[in-house]
Amino acid sequence: MPAMNDRKTLDERQQMTDLERLRHSCAHVMATAILRIWPDAQFAYGPPIDNGFYYDFDMKHRITPDDFEQIEAEMRKIAKDNQKFERKVISRAEAQAMAESGRLGGLSERPGNPSRFKLDLIDKIPEGEEISCFQNGEFIDLCAGLHVGYTSKCKHVKLMSVSSSFYLGDEKKGQLQRLYGTAFESMEALEKHLARLEEAKKRDHRRLGRELGLFHIDEMVGQGLILWKPKGALVRRALEAFITEELDKQGYFQVFTPHIGKLELYRTSGHFPYYQESQFPAIAERDVLEKLADENASCATLINGLSDGTYEGYLLKPMNCPHHIKIFASDPHSYRDLPVRLAEFGTVYRWEQSGELGGMTRVRGFTQDDAHIFCTAEQVAAEVTACLDLVKKILSTLGMNDYRVRLSLRDPASDKYVGSAESWDKAEAALREAVKTLGVEYTEEIGEAAFYGPKIDFVVKDVIGRDWQLGTVQVDYNLPVRFGLSYVGADNQPHIPVMIHRAPFGSMERFTGLLIEHFEGKFPTWLAPEQVRVLPISEKTLEQAEAAAAKLADSGVRVTVDRSSDKIGAKVRLARLDRVPYMLVIGAREAEEGTVSIRHRDKNDLGAKPLDEFIANITGEIKTRSL
Ligand SMILES: [Zn+2]
Ligand SMILES: [Zn+2]
């Protein structure tokens, strides 16, 4: 949603989809219902949003979810009454008079209770812009539209949640209540939406991450800083091993770089001081701090000195690129050794507002599946195509075949871009060709490219149809120049290489969060932290169970033994709850025959098989990374 202070033009306000029009109309119906119950309510602002609508208001009673039923019942009555939404153009003076009397955003005039937010909103309407109000039944609201014809359309509606908000997002202007609802054209669509929300809750990676022991966030370590627990680390390692295998095949070299770098490095790259608000504050050098302390200098002196380069210090790295650039620059290069592809699971730190943090998807430290390719202009097309091949391979292995691609191009009319028009044309054409090889839906967004190069973004749809923004493949004409990179061409002259940044999954944290939700914690065997649990029926077969587990572990299978004294039914239930793909039950008969009774998490009873046969099957399944 755009910031409310960026006032939309009348034209923009009136560009609503049918569903937005319906939902916004429901906000009027909701306001009508609230006023019938609490006539003192003062309404502020009630737009449609992504999955529904809200209305901000102020009143004495504080709404809780216990009130929803009563409000919804009133809304249903209003829908049943089939009130017409009637538009009326009014003069500014009329609008002000109506607001003064409390009539705007009310069911009647309310002496002594003027429509104070509406008065302010009227003030914000530019001179000369048409002012309109809409009436349904007794309710009149200041509104530019658009609405459905009658309130009967507003019957497939549900109140979702209530929170507090600030008038026009401004903390100083006092707190309001914000009531969210959603609405659809049909009961069926509404129910489908609610079922999907329920499903999303069931899959929530924050809850599953806790229940399955995958990761932990500890207040004492810090918000947005993920602690990967042993089981989560196993998932990540399996994922990294898979990606590494593919990178090796594609001629990448892995590197390791430190988590900090000198400010000078980021001044050169341009990351500092320009993006300070999204970085952790700089770390000043010890002697600088001591000197300034001796001088009783202020914090401002320190901050300004670090920003302008008077003082040196370090930064937790917000990006891996400068480090990789320095690796490339540490050797002379000829056109014959290009492209150079440097990959790293590189951890970076960004300062996110604490309100935005949650689980693995918004974090302050994360590990990118990062790589930088240094190549000639002619090699861009092939390199980008190879990047996309990798994405395709990994997503299809994970069963994520529903994704789309956004191609961000320059605005040819603007002059903010670095690099020649000719090289941009070439790179844009190369990206477009590469995207086409994916055979998936893609959009071209003119003017969305960064000033330093065009890029490709990926958006994956998970099993319940939600979009997840992943990473990018980005062409860069800027950093090679800033760092003075060069290679010797076939003409024996120095040339500037092109750089490609690519982190197709964005971060291991976010991607793992997506995978937890996508699989509902039921990772395919190759990714499962615990692949097999051996369940002895009683103490009598514990020894055979341990022996079977040892043999499995020896074959590279991640296996545990349930040594508890629980009944076998309870052991099976627990293993299922832990989403373990295979359970091997060993009773007296199996112990004697050297077999195991195999149960699968989803496929139930697979019968008894010799242990060796099971090992051959599961190691095959792991090796091929079957779903
Ligand atoms: Zn309206
Ligand atoms: Zn980069």
Closest CA to 427 of 500, 372, 344: 500
> Does residue 2 surpass a pLDDT of 50?
no
- Spacing, Cα 4 to ligand 1 middle (Å): 16
- Spacing, Cα 14 to ligand 2 middle (Å): 40
- Spacing, Cα 153 to ligand 1 middle (Å): 14
Q: What percent of the chain has pLDDT over 90?
A: 79
Q: Select which of 372, 502, 518, 533 is catalytic.
A: 372
Look up residue 307 and give its two tokens: 């920003």
Please report which ligand is nearest the Cα atom of 478: 2
Candidate from 125-134, 206-215, 250-259, 550-559 with smallest mean pLDDT: 125-134
> Does residue 1 surpass a pLDDT of 80?
no
Q: Select which of 321, 387, 558, 579 is catalytic.
A: 321
> What is the mean predicted confidence (pLDDT) over 198-218?
94
Paired sense of beta strands 52-58 and 48-49, if any: antiparallel
- Spacing, Cα 603 to ligand 2 middle (Å): 44
Q: Where are the alpha helices (DSSP H) in 56-186?
A: 68-81, 92-100, 116-124
Closest CA to 260 of 306, 326, 314: 314
Please report which ligand is nearest the Cα atom of 146: 1
Burial 555-568 (b: 16+ CB within 10 A, else e): eebbbbbbeeeeeb
77 labelled catalytic: no
> Does residue 417 surpass a pLDDT of 90?
no
pTM to 2 decimal places: 0.82
175 labelled catalytic: no
618 three-class SS:
helix
Please report which ligand is nearest the Cα atom of 105: 1
Q: Tell me: the pLDDT tens digits for 120-174? A: 999 999 988 999 999 999 999 999 878 999 999 999 999 999 999 888 777 777 8
Q: Select which of 317, 323, 501, 518 is catalytic.
A: 501
Cα separation, 428 vs 432, in Å, equals 6
Please report which ligand is nearest the Cα atom of 133: 1
For residue 409, the 8-state DSSP code is E
Paired sense of beta strands 582-586 and 455-461, if any: unpaired
Q: Tell me: the pLDDT tens digits for 340-386? A: 999 999 999 999 887 667 799 889 999 999 999 999 999 999 999 99
How confident is residue 3, by pLDDT bands cut at 50, 70 and 90? very low
350 labelled catalytic: yes
- Spacing, Cα 21 to ligand 1 middle (Å): 9
> What contacts 24+ positions apart, CB below 8 Å, involve 19-23?
19/48, 19/184, 19/185, 20/48, 21/48, 21/146, 21/147, 21/148, 22/148, 22/153, 22/154, 22/183, 22/184, 22/185, 23/48, 23/49, 23/52, 23/53, 23/181, 23/182, 23/183
Place of tokens 């793992």: 512
Cα separation, 514 vs 16, in Å, equals 31
Paired sense of beta strands 403-409 and 442-446, if any: parallel
Paired sense of beta strands 131-136 and 175-183, if any: unpaired
**CB 218, CB 365: distance < 8 Å:** no
Closest CA to 94 of 120, 54, 122: 122
Q: Mean pLDDT: which of 1-5, 33-37, 292-296, 440-444 is highest?
A: 33-37
Place of tokens 């370090």: 314
Closest CA to 362 of 205, 190, 523: 205
Q: Select which of 369, 370, 457, 462 is catalytic.
A: 370
**CB 381, CB 475: distance < 8 Å:** no
Cα separation, 145 vs 134, in Å, equals 8
Determine the residue type at 447: G
> What is the mean predicted confidence (pLDDT) over 584-608?
93
> What is the mean predicted confidence (pLDDT) over 596-618?
94
624 three-class SS:
coil
Cα separation, 108 vs 290, in Å, equals 68
Report the residue count for the chain: 627
Cα separation, 520 vs 510, in Å, equals 15
What residues are paired with 369 via a beta bridge? 345
> Does residue 113 surpass a pLDDT of 50?
yes
- Side-chain half-sphere exposure of 291, counting CA atoms within 13 A: 11
- Spacing, Cα 86 to ligand 1 middle (Å): 10
Q: What is the mean pLDDT of the chain?
A: 92
Q: What is the pLDDT of residue 8?
A: 65
Q: Where are the alpha helices (DSSP H) in 38-115?
A: 68-81, 92-100
Give the 3-state DSSP-derived string for 422-469, with helices as H, strands as E and coil as C. Answer: HHHHHHHHHHHHHHHHHCCCEEEEECCCECCECEEEEEEECCCCCEEE
Q: Select which of 110, 324, 455, 495 is catalytic.
A: 455
Show Cβ contacts of residue 449 under 8 Å, excluding neighbours closer than 6 positions: 408, 409, 410, 411, 417, 455
- Spacing, Cα 306 to ligand 2 middle (Å): 24
Tell me whether the omega of the peptide bond preceding residue 339 falls within 30 degrees of 0, making it cis: yes
Place of tokens 């009329």: 94
Angle between helices 508-519 and 230-249 (to 10 degrees): 110
- Write the burial class of residue 493 (CB in 10 Å: 0-12 exposed, 13-18 middle, 19+ buried): exposed
Q: Tell me: the pLDDT tens digits for 473-522? A: 999 999 999 999 999 999 999 999 999 999 988 899 999 999 999 999 99
* DSSP letters for 525-567: TTT-SS-EEEEESSGGGHHHHHHHHHHHHHTT--EEE--S---
182 three-class SS:
strand
Closest CA to 235 of 554, 588, 508, 601: 508
Cα separation, 376 vs 387, in Å, equals 16
368 labelled catalytic: yes
Cα separation, 252 vs 371, in Å, equals 8
- Spacing, Cα 472 to ligand 2 middle (Å): 10
- Spacing, Cα 293 to ligand 2 middle (Å): 37
> Does residue 5 surpass a pLDDT of 60?
no
**CB 169, CB 5: distance < 8 Å:** yes
372 labelled catalytic: yes
Q: Tell me: the pLDDT tens digits for 129-139? A: 999 999 999 99
Q: What is the pLDDT of residue 450?
A: 87
Please report which ligand is nearest the Cα atom of 257: 2
Q: Tell me: the pLDDT tens digits for 224-233? A: 999 999 999 9
Q: Select which of 24, 147, 323, 350 is catalytic.
A: 350
321 labelled catalytic: yes
Q: Tell me: the pLDDT tens digits for 454-472? A: 999 989 988 888 888 888 9
